[in-house]
């Protein structure tokens, strides 16, 4: 839609320029036909270099918007982004586009659904009950088990395995909150990319990026019942064990191991070859090459000493009471 149309729909002052907006995009990825936003001052350094055609900003940042971008000023830029996102959300069952292209040697079972503009490589197996949304790409020799759901625009690499009930590309949990307590959906407009030789366990959910992409890198193995939030980057060759939860925008380095029921808060980084013991709660970025445990997270040896100390204190207290 045109920028002027969007401003009227959002109740914003129209800028002097007007052009056709193509999509919403992050500050560091946006182009001249894109709308971006800045809400968190942590990312203010990206504003001055953005190439976005228009940027939603708070009044305090209006003067920092580059000369080539239109500043759309609001006291609540994140809320306005959420309101704008519904205009750019794709039709989940479009009738436009081409029939699926299926590569040589591939088998698609009766009862599987393929959307428009789907491209499937060679020797792929798609089992009954699988749903493959519009514009999905699936690489050679990938195996899709029954009842896997792959939402629109996602990309699956070569020699991947997706086990039954896995959901790839579901909406991330994103809402803007009004001052009177309403929750306004921020439509998730990104996608999920699984690189080559990724395995996803049964009933695992991987959320699509908000405006960009969630990426599971080459060789990573994800167990059953895992939740990976929007905009995460996992791997390469990471191991993510059952019931792990990764909050949005978490970044795991190479060969990271997350033990069962461990979890992260959002917007943090875990370095290469780090191990998180079962039920570890990660609330800060961690360096690579170490083993961590507990909540709040600490190095594993320190956690063992702490628990041994607590055990001795309890035993001592019991003796005193006797």
Q: Give the residue numbers annotated as catalytic, written as ranges.
A: 230
What's the rounded Cα separation, in Å, for the pair 290 and 271? 9
Walk across the sheet containing 23-24 and list its strands. Answer: 23-24, 34-37, 54-57, 70-73
What's the rounded Cα separation, in Å, for the pair 137 and 156? 6
The structure tokens 């990319």 sit at: 193
What's the rounded Cα separation, in Å, for the pair 258 and 237? 12
What's the rounded Cα separation, in Å, for the pair 236 and 254? 5
The structure tokens 């040697």 sit at: 105
Hey, how many other C-beta atoms are within 10 angstroms of the C-beta on 9? 13
Which pair of tokens denotes residue 142? 């990938």
CB 306 within 8 A of CB 294: yes
What's the rounded Cα separation, in Å, for the pair 136 and 46? 31
Angle at CA 83, nearest 5°, toward 78 and 86? 125
Which pair of tokens denotes residue 51? 């190439």
CB 56 within 8 A of CB 80: yes
Q: What's phi and psi for 299, nearest 5 deg?
A: -60, 145
Angle at CA 234, nearest 5°, toward 275 and 141? 120
What's the rounded Cα separation, in Å, for the pair 215 and 194? 6
Q: Which residues make beta-bridge pairs with 298?
A: 293
């Amino acid at each position: 839609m045109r920028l002027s149309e969007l401003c009227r729909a959002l109740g914003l002052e129209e800028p002097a320029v007007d052009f056709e907006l193509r999509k919403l995009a992050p500050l560091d990825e946006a182009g001249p036909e894109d709308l971006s936003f800045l809400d968190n001052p942590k990312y203010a350094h990206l504003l001055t270099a953005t190439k976005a055609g228009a940027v939603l900003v708070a009044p305090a940042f209006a003067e920092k918007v580059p000369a080539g971008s239109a500043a759309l000023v609001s006291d609540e830029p994140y809320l306005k982004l959420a309101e704008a996102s519904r205009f750019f959300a794709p039709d989940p069952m479009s009738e436009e586009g081409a029939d699926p292209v299926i590569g040589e040697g591939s088998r698609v079972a009766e009862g599987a659904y393929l959307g428009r503009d789907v491209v499937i490589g060679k020797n792929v197996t798609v089992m009954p009950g699988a749903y493959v949304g519009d514009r999905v790409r699936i690489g050679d020799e990938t195996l899709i088990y029954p009842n896997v759901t792959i939402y629109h625009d996602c990309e699956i690499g070569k020699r991947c395995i997706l086990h039954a009930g896995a959901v790839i590309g579901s909406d991330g949990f994103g809402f803007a909150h009004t001052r009177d307590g309403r929750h306004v959906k921020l439509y998730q407009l990104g996608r999920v990319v699984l690189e080559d030789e990724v395995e996803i366990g049964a009933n695992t959910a991987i959320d699509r990026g908000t405006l960009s992409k969630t990426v599971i890198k080459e060789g990573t193995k994800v167990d059953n019942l895992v939740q990976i939030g929007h905009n995460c980057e996992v791997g390469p060759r990471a191991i993510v064990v059952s019931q792990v939860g990764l909050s949005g925008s978490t970044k795991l380095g190479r060969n990271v191991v997350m033990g069962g029921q461990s979890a992260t808060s959002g917007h943090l980084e875990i370095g290469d070859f780090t191990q998180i013991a079962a039920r570890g709660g990660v609330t800060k970025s961690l360096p690579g090459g170490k083993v961590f445990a507990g909540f709040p997270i600490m190095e594993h040896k320190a956690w063992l000493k702490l628990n041994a100390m607590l055990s001795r204190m309890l035993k001592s207290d019991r003796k005193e009471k006797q």
